Structure 1
Amino acid sequence: MNDRIEKGDVVLINKSGKYHKQVGEVSEIDYNIFFVKIVLVKLGNQEENFEEKDLQLQTKKPSLQEVIASIDKVIEQVDQIPHLPTTEKVELPNRLKYIKLDIPKLDKQLIQKNFDSIDKILSATREADSSPSFWQEIDPNLEKISWWIRTSL
């Protein structure tokens, strides 16, 4: 695993003080005049600057390959959703495939629009029937896709 802290990674704050042992997501990376890496970490609804040495990497943001694999897994799981109207049974895999095609272009608006539609359809479907085990496969993969979209575009 790459130990360099990058935008989108989840980090633990090791520096003693107000934020000690809190976990946050890296929102920006910069360097001060002495070329020390300064990391802007989002902690709840606020952001604070830390030196890289004061942070411990918890989770790397998903790579492009992981996101594409997650999209493929969600496409596979969509077939297992019972009571999914025919329109959505066709629309969901198509929108997921569109995201896969749009990722190399990094078209944020198009990717976000398709992801929002997918999320809306799946949320409504989950409300109707949240018990099946396929949600255990879909949810972490959707989270991974969402995380990548939020931190990469």
Structure 2
Amino acid sequence: MKDKIEKGDIVVINKSGKYDNQVGEVSGVDYNIFFVKIVIVKLGNQEETFEEKDLQLKTKKPSLEEVVASIDKILVQVEQVTNLPIKEKIELPNRLKYLKLDIPKLDKQLIKKNFNVIDEIFAATRKADSSASFWQEIDPNLEKISWWIRTSL
């Protein structure tokens, strides 16, 4: 059975022509008057519409469980970040824990606020030490959380 394509998924276009084999992110799903699923795909700076049959699912957007697991993985890595100032060393784990509690509630404002603070702390920390090994674990998990927030709220 073919996976259902939903908003936030990454798809490959399998329709010969201008967009053949391009990869994009689904920004919306609708149905036409004949109940055919129409998928709006963001390709760079533009959006195009395709029938679902013209698309192949490449990557599903992260589930709620995957996002919570990513937060847990980042929490483990935060312990290895040595160059955090005292204030951020306390605030970062707390913000991650709050984010973990807010995500199941789908509280858009709280989730975005906490994630933005977390992202700012990591950005400042990265300037001080961008070569540390913990970034290999933090970056993909941070991206997964960001992707879920962008496509779920």
With the shorter chain as reference, the TM-score category is over 0.9
Match of 1:59 in 2: 59
Match of 1:13 in 2: 13
Moved over 4 A (4+): none
Distance 2:43 2:71 in 1: 28
**Does the 8 Å CA contact 2:64/2:104 hold for their aligned counterparts?**
no
Report deviation, 1:103.
1.1
Report deviation, 1:2.
6.8
**TM-score, normalization: structure 2?**
0.97
Aligned residue identity for 1:116: N
Per-residue deviation, residues 98-142 of structure 1 (Å, max 9, x unmatched) = 111111221111101110110011011011101111000000000
Match of 1:48 in 2: 48
Quick check: 1:76 aligned with 2:76? Answer: yes
Q: SS of 2:18's equivalent?
A: coil
Match of 1:31 in 2: 31
How many residues were matched structurally?
Answer: 153
Q: SS of 1:57's equivalent?
A: strand
Match of 1:122 in 2: 122
**Which consecutive unaligned segments of at least 5 residues does structure 2 have?**
none
Choose 72-81 or 97-106, whichever is displaced more. 97-106
**TM-score, normalization: structure 1?**
0.97
Identical aligned residues as a percent: 79
Aligned residue identity for 2:21: K
**Which consecutive unaligned segments of at least 5 residues does structure 1 have?**
none
Distance 2:102 2:132 in 1: 30
Distance 1:152 1:118 in 2: 19
Distance 1:129 1:17 in 2: 45
Match of 2:92 in 1: 92
Aligned residue identity for 1:51: E
Aligned residue identity for 1:8: G
Match of 2:150 in 1: 150
